[in-house]
Copies of this chain bind each other. A is one copy, B any other.
Amino acid sequence: MPKSATVRVLLFSASLRADSLNTSLARLARTVLEAANATVDWATMNDFDGPSYNQDVETGPGFPPGPRELHRRLEACDAFVIATPEYNASMPGHLKNTIDWVSRIRPQPFNARHGLLLSASPSMAGGNRGLWSLRIPLEHLGARVFPDMFSLAQAHKAFDEHGALADGQLAARFGENLRAFLDLVEAAKHYPCIKKAWVEFLGEPGSTVGRVEAA
């Protein structure tokens, strides 16, 4: 069996504010992933943020630095983990905007890449609805989004002074969730997997309309 050390994971929090609960959760994920021998590329949303998607910019000045950076670092990893807040019962617009940009750069880096989604929120639902809406563009782009997602409810009360989860049972599940994800990434990595040619199926047979449509 290959060692987990070979698995390389891009990890970031999608919140832009300094004192973010999702950044706290991402930090904790880093500890767990590294303890499981994964190599973590730690990033922040500031690294990837960009202006609003505009096809005229894409075909003129070109891709902005933030989305290009996300593209580059995704391509260098086997998998990605995102901890993200929920805004208005859905994913944050700015995170989706960066994904919209990145989806236009080739090779399209979400395709066949494994992803894990986390959220933290002071609410009782833990930001879980945001994760469900985020699955859609990622899976549409071919990402293999792990079914088990971790949504930390009442996150403002959940961390102890060392940044770990105070509740032992929750802490155990968090670890299991991350390690189950790593196992799948590793399994898929060491297999001669057909890299799917990623194309849109909708529309007329034979058409290959891009997924950010010129509309």
A residues in contact (CB < 8 Å) with B: 1, 15-18, 20-22, 45, 49, 51-56, 85-100, 103, 112, 119-129, 132-133, 135-151, 153-155, 158, 167, 169-170, 173, 176-177, 179-180, 183-184, 186-188, 190-194, 196-207, 209, 211-215
Dominant SS at the A interface?
loop
> Once the chains bind, are A205 and B169 in contact (CB under 8 Å)?
yes
Total identical chains = 4
In the docked arrangement, what's the CA distance between A128 and B136, Å?
A: 12
Nearest-neighbour CB distance to chain B for A67, whole angstroms, equals 11
Sample 17 A-B pairs with CB under 8 A, ordered by A number.
A1-B191, A17-B55, A90-B133, A92-B100, A119-B215, A123-B213, A124-B203, A124-B204, A127-B215, A142-B147, A153-B201, A153-B203, A155-B215, A173-B197, A183-B193, A187-B188, A188-B188
